[in-house]
Amino acid sequence: MSTDPAMVPQAQAGSSRVLRPRRIEDYDPQRLGLPKPPGFIRTFFRRNPWIIDSVLMGLFYYASIGSVLASANGSMPIAGVLMSAILSLGTTAAILFRRFIPRILAGISSALLLAVIPGSTGSSVGVIAMVIALYALAVYRSARSAWLWTIIGTIVATIGALSAGLLDVAIALVAFFGYGMMFVIATLIGISVGNRVRYMDALFARAAQLARERDQQAQLATASERARIAREMHDIVAHSLTVMIALADGATRAATSDPGRAMDAMAHVSEIGRTSLTDMRRVLGVLTEASGEGPGGAPSATGAVPLAPQPTFDELRPLIDSYRAAGLPITLTVSGAVPEESATQLTVFRVVQEALTNALRYARTPSRVEVAVDFTTAGLTEVIVRDDGLGTAADSATVSVGSGRGLIGMRERVALYGGTVDAGPIEPRGWRVHARIPTAAHPSDPSSRQESTPL
C-alpha cells in the first residue's frame, strides 16, 4: 500500500515533523463507514479553510492600515511610516498563507515588533500578528517550533517596547510579562487544537488504512476461492475427460471385433459423463447461489442441483474402478486407520485422482500401477502412486499435451496443510508421485487394516 507523504498526519504532539494539509475526500466518513461528524459550521470551514484565512487577513489589513495612518498623523518620521507600512503589508500577505509558511509569518511579525519606535502605534498590530503566527506554528508545524518562537517573540517585543520607551526598565518588565503571557496563551491554545487535529487525522488515517486492508483481504479471499474452484474444476474435468477418451478409444477398437465390450465401454462413458456434469453443476452453483433449493425446499427454477459433500476416502474405490475400466491395472494398498478429518480424506482422494489421470494420459503400456496410502505414521499421511509405463513419444500423433496445472494444483492443495509433493520419473521406467500430508495426531488403532487389493 502506498501513501502520499504529503497526506500523512502526525499523531504525536510535539513532533518536529510537519502536519501538512490533507485532502478532506481522503478521510470521507461515509466512505470509511464512520458516523457523520457533528457540527455543520466546523465541517464547512474545515472543507473551506481559505474563507477563514481571507477573513483573518482582511481584519488584520484593516487594523494595520489604521495603525499606519495613526502613525502618519503623529510625530513619527516618514521613513518609519513607510517601514511600518511595508512590514504591515508583508505580514498581511503572510497571514493569508499562514497554514503553509507560519515560520515566515513569525519572522515578519518579529521584525514588525522590533521596528516599533517612538510615536508609532504599530506594536499592537505586531502583537496580533505574532499571536496568529504562534497559533499557526503550534497547529500546522509542531509544539517545539511554537515554544521557540514564543521565546523569540517575547524577547523581540520587550526590546521593541524598551526602545520605544527610551530604555525605561519598568516598561521593559511590563512588556516582558505582558507580551510573554499573551504569547504563551496563544501557544497553549494552538498546541491544544493541534493535538486534537493530529489525533483526529491519525484516527481517520487509521480508518482509511483499515478500509484499504479490508478491501485487499476481500480481494485475496476472492483470488483464493477462485484458485480453489479452479483446482476442483481441473480435477473433475481432467479425470472425467481422460477416462472418457480412454473408454471411447477402446470402444472404437472393439466395435467390430467385440460389440458387447464396446457397448459396455460406451455405457461407462455415459455414466461418467453424467456424474461429471453433476459435479460441475455443483461446483459452479457455489458461484451463483448457496443452494439449489427454492422456498420450502423445492428445487429452484434455475434447475441447479443441491449442494453435496466433497468426496471422502470411501469414494476412492469407485474412482479406481473407473480408471480400471479405462484399462489401468491398478493395485491399491491402504495401511493404518483412515483419519476422520474430511480435509485429509479429500486431499488424499484428489492426489490419487490427479496421479491416476496423469498415468492414464501419459503412461504407455503400463503393466502395473500401484497406489499406496499409509496412515500408520502419527500426524502424517503418505500417498504414493507409481507406474511402470513408458513416456509418451514426442512425435506421436495422439500425444496428450498437458499444461502442468495438475501438478501445480496438487502441490498447492497439499501445501495448504503444510505438506509436500514430489513427482518425477523413476528407473528403469515409469513415474512416481509421493505426497506427504500432515494430519492431526490420532492414536494407533488395533483394528487398523492392512490391505492389498488388486483391482
Q: How many helices (H) and strands (E) does the chain have?
A: 12, 6
Q: Residue 387 corresponds to which cell in the numbers above?
A: 507406474
* 380-387 vs 431-438, strand pairing mode: antiparallel
Distance CA 250, CA 127 (A): 102
Name the β-bridge partners of 420. Answer: 436
Contact 60, 132 (CB under 8 A): yes
Contact 191, 13 (CB under 8 A): yes
Q: Residue 451 corresponds to which cell in the numbers above?
A: 490391505
Alpha helices, DSSP H only, in 258-341? 259-288, 316-325
**What is the model's pLDDT at position 211?**
85
Distance CA 69, CA 62 (A): 11
Q: What are phi and psi of 383, to 5 degrees?
A: -125, 125
* pLDDT tens per residue across span 198-213: 888 888 888 888 888 8
Contact 95, 147 (CB under 8 A): no
CA atoms within 13 A on the CB side of 128: 18
**What is the model's pLDDT at position 27?**
54
- Residue-by-residue pLDDT tens, the chain, 455 positions: 444 443 444 444 444 444 454 554 555 556 656 556 556 777 777 778 888 888 888 888 887 776 666 666 655 567 666 777 777 788 888 888 888 999 999 988 888 787 654 444 456 788 888 999 999 999 998 899 999 999 999 998 888 877 766 567 777 788 888 889 999 999 999 999 889 888 888 888 888 888 888 888 888 877 777 777 777 777 667 677 777 777 787 778 777 787 877 788 788 778 777 777 777 776 666 555 544 444 444 444 444 445 556 788 888 888 888 888 878 889 999 998 888 888 888 889 889 988 888 888 888 888 889 999 999 888 889 999 999 887 654 434 344 445 566 788 788 888 888 899 998 898 888 899 999 998 864 444 433 444 443 43
Give the H/E segment covering residue 327: none
Of the candidates 147, 65, 149, 139, which has an alpha carbon nearest to the alpha carbon of residue 107?
A: 149
* pLDDT tens per residue across span 42-81: 777 777 888 888 888 888 888 777 666 666 665 556 766 6
Q: How far is CA 210 from the centre of its chain?
A: 8
Q: 3-state DSSP call for residue 129?
A: helix
Q: 3-state DSSP call for residue 333?
A: strand
